[in-house]
């Protein structure tokens, strides 16, 4: 059975911002498409109910290099671990300049999928196991599975509030850059089940995070990384989704934006609004030569904002330490 898949396409003007940097959401959408294809193919290699791989989580994703209009994105996906009801897919993204032939790795991502029956969307199908090259690889995959499972539960417990809009705020405050986007989920947004593609949701989340970052800096901004994206509940066709973002932390050259997706079923209004997806995006500010610019400090108002800032700072320092450790291992 095939455990690898690759897709490629050229980046066009509608994939990028006004200065030619490809949107992080565009890349995230391609990553999810590759993951969904390989996950669905794998889970249908056995007899029984036909199924579709539904995105459950995306681990922290760094944007290592920018991608530009005219470059070809090569997205390769590989299944690296399977549990009884989930599939881990690791994805690499390569940008190719077709004029010079130069290639660069722009993204590395890890996604988790759950196979959902096409006959019954509430039924989760068992996943066919994969063969590992060594017992150590299987054990490492099991540890990643247990870690993400625990983080998803913790994230689900801590998230409950909904962002409220505030008018005429003071510059560089949380409420000044806070932004929301409302989107009606249509057929083209959905899987065969009638539920939103994870990639569609991630693209909208990146757009909102980008608006927050741009409002704060008033400069060109690009996605630097995305922390774990947790998909708590499915979003059905016909729902109105509100994607909200707020600044939580700023360092000298980066901004952390917390993004929520709330779904409101129009047809089944009695079910009420619910929180479907949560994540943290990190952005950087760039000048006209695509060089990093200093980020204006975030002005905090109240204990809650101070608490979120300290939590963001802890994530920032943890990720910085991890990058340095990874760099040392590669040397």
Three-point CA angle 174, 176, 180, nearest 5°: 85
E strand intervals along the chain: 4-10, 51-58, 61-63, 72-82, 87-96, 103-117, 179-184, 220-226, 229-231, 239-250, 255-265, 274-286, 292-293
A 10 A CB-CB count for 171 gives 11
Q: Is the dihedral of CA 200, 202, 207, 208 positive or negative?
A: positive
Residues comprising the chain, all counted: 331
Beta-ladder partners of 286? 220, 292
Q: Which residues are catalytic?
A: 17, 206
Show the tokens assigned to 144. 């990643």
- Angle at which helix 24-43 crosses helix 198-217, to 10 degrees, equals 160
């Amino acid at each position: 059975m095939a455990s690898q898949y690759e897709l490629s396409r050229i980046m066009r003007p509608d994939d990028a911002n006004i200065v030619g940097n490809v949107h992080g959401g565009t890349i995230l959408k391609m990553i999810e498409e590759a993951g969904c294809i390989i996950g669905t193919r794998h889970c249908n290699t056995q007899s029984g109910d036909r199924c579709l791989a539904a995105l459950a989580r995306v681990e922290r994703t760094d944007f290592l290099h920018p991608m530009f209009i005219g470059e070809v994105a090569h997205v390769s996906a590989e299944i690296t671990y399977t549990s009884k009801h989930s599939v881990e897919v690791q994805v690499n993204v390569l940008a190719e300049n077709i004029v010079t032939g130069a290639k660069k790795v722009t993204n590395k991502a890890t996604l988790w999928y759950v196979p959902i029956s096409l006959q019954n969307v509430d039924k989760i199908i068992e996943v066919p196991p994969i063969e590992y090259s060594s017992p150590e690889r299987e054990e490492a995959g099991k540890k990643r599975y247990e870690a993400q499972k625990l983080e998803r539960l913790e994230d689900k417990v801590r998230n409950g509030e909904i962002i409220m809009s505030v008018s005429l705020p003071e510059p560089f405050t949380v409420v000044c850059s806070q932004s929301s986007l409302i989107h009606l989920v249509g057929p083209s947004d959905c899987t065969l089940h009638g539920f939103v593609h994870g990639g569609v949701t991630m693209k909208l989340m990146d757009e909102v995070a980008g608006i927050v970052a741009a409002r704060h800096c008033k400069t060109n901004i690009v996605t630097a990384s995305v922390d774990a994206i947790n998909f708590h509940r499915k979003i059905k066709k016909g729902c109105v989704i509100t994607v909200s973002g707020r600044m939580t932390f700023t360092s000298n050259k980066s901004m952390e934006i917390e993004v929520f997706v709330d779904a409101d079923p129009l047809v089944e209004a009695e079910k009420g609004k619910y929180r479907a997806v949560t994540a943290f995006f990190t952005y950087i500010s760039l000048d006209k030569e695509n060089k990093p610019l200093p980020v204006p400090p975030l002005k905090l108002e109240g204990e809650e904002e101070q608490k979120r800032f300290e939590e963001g700072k802890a994530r920032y320092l943890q990720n910085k330490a991890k990058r340095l450790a990874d760099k040392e291992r590669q040397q």
